[in-house]
Structure 1
């Protein structure tokens, strides 16, 4: 039974890391780094908006993933104790762990919606 818990915790922790990698790829697509025309348009309102959207989108995803990791860790450690006491609780605890993992998915969705409205840096 312990191997089920360890496998589940590893999968949930890897998913949170993948959410961060997805957002890093989305953020890097917004940054073109093309300054051939000089730095005249570097401080434009659109660039300020894009910078703020990327910052707050990253902060939102990061905080949601932090809360998700803490929640998965707490439920996972309690799942090991509860499963040792009563093996019938495994599925119920796994459902609780899935719901705590949804926090990270929620952060990913909100971050994608936020960064989808931003234009590329020009």
Structure 2
């Protein structure tokens, strides 16, 4: 194989994959956070009709859902800061950044769905039986940590 037949080391489309990684991180994690907020919020609204004194105590799932979007924001900013012009950005780096963004985005999506479903059922149940509150918080923590696992993997993939 002559040098003119070798594949280009830094193709012009290399940064595309990095940009898609950054976009995937924030889009999917924000979608998961939005779902978690909406689903938990409807549960809080239903519960508040009968027990309005529990509204502030029941806001925990909404806060936890919002944290998931922060994970996507962090990795998206990190990736976007490393994206350079095609001449200095390798295809390998683009694939690493795509993988990092997808790991954070999809784990945030799953965590947001879990937080929303648990938050909805948990606040409704807590309104009827207050002893359920601690159990709901523990389950929410286990759901939230799924997004954190994705962030940890994403940071390892992002790092040079």
TM-score range normalised by the length of the shorter chain = 0.7 to 0.9
The aligned residue for residue 75 of structure 1 is 118
Cα offset, 1:32, TM superposition? 2.7
Alignment of 1:26 onto 2:69? no
| Distance in 2 (alpha carbons) for counterparts of 1:76 and 1:63 | 20
Alignment of 1:27-46 (within 5 A): 27-33=79-85, 41=87
More relative contact order, 1 or 2 (CA 8 Å, 6+ apart)? 1
Question: How far, CA to CA, are the matches of 1:89 and 1:74 in structure 2?
Answer: 15
Asked if 1:114 is matched to 2:157, the reply is yes
Equivalent residue, structure 2, for 1:105: 148
* Structure 1 segments of 4+ aligned residues over 6 angstroms from their partners: none
1:95-119 deviation digits (Å, cap 9, x = unpaired): 11111000111100000000103xx
- TM-score, scaled relative to structure 2: 0.62
Provide structure 2 residue ranges, at least 5 long, that are not aligned to the other structure. 1-53
Give the equivalent residue in structure 1 for 2:18. none
> 2-side partners of 1:76 and 1:10: how far apart?
8
Match 1:85 to one of 119, 125, 128: 128
Structure 1: give runs of 5+ residues left out of the alignment.
36-40, 118-122
1:3-30: CA deviation from partner (whole Å, max 9, x where unpaired):
211x212211211111111011110121
- The size of the alignment, in residue pairs, is 107
